[in-house]
Amino acid sequence: MINTVAIQGVKGSFHHIVSQEFFEKPVDIIECMTFDRVVEALINGECDAAIMALENSIAGSIIPNYAMIDNNHLHIVGEHYLDIQHNLMALPSQRIEDIKEVYSHPMALLQCKRFFRGYPHIKLVEDKDTAEVADRIQKHKLKHIGAIASVLAAEIFELDVLAHSIQTIKHNETRFAVVKRTNSEVSESEINKASIKFEADHKRGSLATILNVMSDCKLNLTKIQSLPIIETPWKYAFFVDVTFDAYADFLKAKSLIEIMSPSFKLLGEYKNAKL
Amino acid sequence: MINTVAIQGVKGSFHHIVSQEFFEKPVDIIECMTFDRVVEALINGECDAAIMALENSIAGSIIPNYAMIDNNHLHIVGEHYLDIQHNLMALPSQRIEDIKEVYSHPMALLQCKRFFRGYPHIKLVEDKDTAEVADRIQKHKLKHIGAIASVLAAEIFELDVLAHSIQTIKHNETRFAVVKRTNSEVSESEINKASIKFEADHKRGSLATILNVMSDCKLNLTKIQSLPIIETPWKYAFFVDVTFDAYADFLKAKSLIEIMSPSFKLLGEYKNAKL
């Protein structure tokens, strides 16, 4: 049973939305200001699961989060996709002409830069979190201040949305992992996706050989990311996601790659959220 | 001839160090506060080349920079590796006990977090750039303030280094691209590395088939990065770097992949900096 989930950010953050959408029953959340703290909460047993962004369609993989899952031997037990929409919000009855400063996370400010070119009177100020600013505006009844955050944050902190979907690139899909201390409890018949990590030599064709095995075993590759292994030149680690119809096919490929690669690690097996 | 080079950051920044190390003769630099501005300077003809970080061993690829090179049809004509070392610096005669606040780029602060745990009296404040803070400290003779930046920045702005290499992960190698508006002027006999982009279907084995061709043509893969194509589900673009001994081998592989992939693009061919 999942009762408590650690998220990066506060209530109203995108990680909070994922915690609402992914689990069938309502869960309690632990608000964490960093991913380090999210992982700490999970390892210490303060929660049953954690939610961590893994990649987005603008910036690609969030490698430090992959590394934290890998180094702490955590297990990916599920995935969830969210289309990140940024909205400008303020206290009710404030108009956009009244707003003098907008506070938000540097990434959110960057993604909404073009919108604010139309409002040169507004000063953009970097802050720690998107939703936390919305909370602060309501708590201290801050006039002339705007936040960039989710519609959920506007609802929770009772702010008015002055402009919807103000991000420059309209479609910014982010993939989140649901992570636990122990392996998946998903039944084998439901598993149709896996995240693995393996190393391959710089030797010509060594990656191609492993991908051939995957292809022969009827696995589809949905993501591949090479990462140089620090302090070991000419050796590479690969983070790979694969989907499959039959779990037996994956098990067969796994046994073969375990023999072929000097290091093979299963980061998680779970249900594909993209079907 | 390369006379003027656009860099991200100011004098003393890591991009500035690369501009000093890569070119045989001294070059003038254009200081840019964003990568957008770097690319603009290059496209407008304000400079002959630009330097852009592409990836580092901690965080992986800087996908937005790859996208800017791709979308603006720029050409990678060289690469350079730099081991990023962060140093704490202040006005001469200041001791670490005198420092009350340290200003730097959020990424530098993050990478040095562990060092500052030993100095809880120091407040860390996010700023735009690493070297720019060093400049400001000297210009306004700011006491009790520290910067985190390169040794070059300490030299240029005449600050004393209070602690060397204070980053948590000691080895953080960053790969930079030298980019131009037109294709490489490197002679064919010197070219032994290339950056390419191609698309492949979600269809089982389509990537493996292309990697097999590369392997058959004696290319070594040094980097691979998949990126979902926005608005086109189940299709993927791959950024791939390959090295080779003979340029003719690369040309052969290129002709084959051009036939096999719905889209093939050469981002640049250049001399491998890792030999």
Q: Check if CATH label 3.40.50.720 holds for domain B188-268.
A: no
Could you tell me if A81 lies within 8 Å of chain B, comparing CB atoms? no
What CATH number is given for B4-83+172-180 in this structure? Answer: 3.40.190.10
- Chosen for mutation from B171, B202, B220 (greatest number of chain A CBs closer than 10 Å) is B220
Contact A221 B211 (CB under 8 A): no
Chain A residues whose CB is inside 8 A of the B221 CB are 207, 226
Residue B76 pLDDT more than 80? yes
Q: Which of B126, B171, B230 sits opposite A126 (nearest CB)?
A: B126
Rg (alpha carbons) of chain A, rounded to whole number: 21
**Predicted local confidence at residue B8, as pLDDT:** 93
Segment 128-167 of chain B within 8 Å of chain A by CB: none
Chain A residues whose CB is inside 8 A of the B202 CB are 220, 222
Q: Which of A57, A59, A212 sits opposite B230 (nearest CB)?
A: A57
Q: Which of B60, B64, B238 sits opposite A61 (nearest CB)?
A: B60
Give the tokens for residue B158. 């005449």
Could you tell me if A118 lies within 8 Å of chain B, comparing CB atoms? no
Q: Give the model confidence (pLDDT) of B111-151 as tens digits.
A: 898 999 999 999 998 888 899 999 999 999 999 999 999 99
Contact A222 B202 (CB under 8 A): yes
Q: Which of A59, A171, A227 sits opposite B63 (nearest CB)?
A: A59
**Predicted local confidence at residue B274, as pLDDT:** 85
Say what percent of chain B tops pLDDT 70.
Answer: 95
Position with higher pLDDT, B65 vs B57: B65
Contact B59 A64 (CB under 8 A): yes
Position with higher pLDDT, A147 vs B59: A147
**Predicted local confidence at residue B228, as pLDDT:** 66
Residue of B nearest to A225 (CA): B225
Residue B204 pLDDT more than 90? no
Same fold across A87-163 and A191-269: no
Q: Decide: B127 and B107 in contact? Cβ < 8 Å.
A: no
Q: Give the model confidence (pLDDT) of B219-244 as tens digits.
A: 988 889 887 665 565 567 899 999 99
CA–CA min distance A15, chain B (Å): 21
Segment 226-265 of chain A within 8 Å of chain B by CB: 226-228, 230-231, 233, 236, 238
Could you tell me if A63 lies within 8 Å of chain B, comparing CB atoms? yes
Could you tell me if B214 lies within 8 Å of chain A, comparing CB atoms? yes
In whole angstroms, give the CA distance from residue B94 to residue B126.
Answer: 21
**ipTM at complex level:** 0.74
Burial of B187 (0-12, 13-18, 19+ CB in 10 A): exposed
Residue B202 pLDDT more than 70? no
**Predicted local confidence at residue B62, as pLDDT:** 81
Fold that domain A4-82+173-180 belongs to in CATH: D-Maltodextrin-Binding Protein; domain 2 (3.40.190)
CATH of A87-163, one of 3.30.565.10, 3.40.1180.10, 3.40.190.10, 3.30.2130.10: 3.40.190.10
- For domain A191-269, the CATH superfamily is ACT domain (3.30.70.260)
Mean pLDDT of chain B: 91
- Chosen for mutation from B37, B55, B61, B244 (greatest number of chain A CBs closer than 10 Å) is B61
Contact B226 A228 (CB under 8 A): no
Candidates B170, B18, B173, B175; CA nearest to B87 is B170
DSSP label at residue A9: B
Residue position matching structure tokens 């890792």: B274
**Predicted local confidence at residue B229, as pLDDT:** 64
Could you tell me if A40 lies within 8 Å of chain B, comparing CB atoms? no
**Predicted local confidence at residue B230, as pLDDT:** 58
Contact B224 A220 (CB under 8 A): no
Phi, psi of A5 (to 5 degrees): -130, 130
In whole angstroms, give the CA distance from residue A79 to residue A177.
Answer: 5
**Predicted local confidence at residue B236, as pLDDT:** 78
Could you tell me if B20 lies within 8 Å of chain A, comparing CB atoms? no
**Predicted local confidence at residue A193, as pLDDT:** 96
Residue B60 pLDDT more than 90? no
- Coil, strand or helix at A188: helix
Could you tell me if A202 lies within 8 Å of chain B, comparing CB atoms? yes
**Predicted local confidence at residue B159, as pLDDT:** 98
**Predicted local confidence at residue A263, as pLDDT:** 87
Residue of A nearest to B169 (CA): A230
Contact B60 A202 (CB under 8 A): no
Per-domain boundaries in chain B: 4-83+172-180, 87-163, 188-268
Q: Give the model confidence (pLDDT) of B140-168 as tens digits.
A: 999 999 999 999 999 999 999 999 999 98
- Coil, strand or helix at A28: strand
Could you tell me if A201 lies within 8 Å of chain B, comparing CB atoms? no
**Predicted local confidence at residue A160, as pLDDT:** 97
Contact B204 A218 (CB under 8 A): yes
**Predicted local confidence at residue A202, as pLDDT:** 64
Low-confidence ranges of chain A (pLDDT < 50): none
Contact A64 B58 (CB under 8 A): yes
Contact A225 B230 (CB under 8 A): no
Name the least confident of A245-254, B18-27, B60-69: B60-69
